[in-house]
Amino acid sequence: MNNFVPLPAEEQIVITWPTPNQQLFTAPEKFFARTRVNPGFGKPGWTRDCGRRFHRGCDIAPVNVTSTGQTTRVIFTDCATGKDFASDEPTFIPHDEVFCVYPGQIIEAVTDESTSDFGRHIVVEHHWPVTGVKFFTLYGHLAKLGNGFGWMGQTSRSADARNWMAIAPHLHFEVRDATDNAYDPVKFLKRFLPR
């Protein structure tokens, strides 16, 4: 799946923000997680590996974050030359609560981070109000589930992914249709969030 399917034109819902970061409309550069070398890191679409890897979700940066005072080594790629280079980057810990954007039923709650690339995560089943057709939202890389829903974290079964999340912590947010095709999560947020 390398493209987004269109949102259903006939549906109109009102959703809530998935995290305290509400800067999508006012300061989008602060809404998406980013790395020093790839400012498009947290955006959906062909934003990974110099445009070679498709990202189905959007990575929402934390508002409440603390520095660890430490660094971790990551391997960046210079997209102009295709050459890799190592860099020691500062690491951070997020503290944002995560919220379900629309009423629904939790159909998957993974608490063992070693079983999924999304680490600890939640999938919620919703229904479009006009057609009654199912759609799903996914909230990934959670530190913990509970306190109503969850907390932003840096979990994944992949050590490499955890390393990247140390320098660019985020909530991975996806929206999928009933047949597991991805909607563009940013278009979903922009269309259905109140302004």
The token pair at 77 is: 């790629």
Alpha helix (H) residue ranges in 11-156: 28-31
Cβ-in-10-Å burial (0-12, 13-18, 19+) of 59 comes to: buried
- Alpha-carbon gap, residue 149 to 123, rounded angstroms: 11
What does pLDDT average to over the chain?
94
- Quick one: average pLDDT of 44-69? 89
Pick the CATH number of 28-192 from 1.10.540.10, 2.70.70.10, 3.40.50.2300, 1.20.810.10: 2.70.70.10
Percent of all residues in the chain with a pLDDT value above 90, rounded to a whole number: 84
The pLDDT of residue 48 is 77
Supply the pTM of this predicted model.
Answer: 0.95
Query: Where along the chain do its domains lie?
Result: 28-192
Q: Which amino acid is at 59?
A: D
- Alpha-carbon gap, residue 149 to 100, rounded angstroms: 7
| Residues 6+ positions from 28 with CB-CB distance below 8 Å | none
Chain segment 109-140, per-residue pLDDT in tens: 999 999 999 999 999 999 999 999 999 999 99
Pairing of strands 149-152, 171-177: unpaired
Chain segment 20-46, per-residue pLDDT in tens: 999 999 999 999 999 988 888 899 988
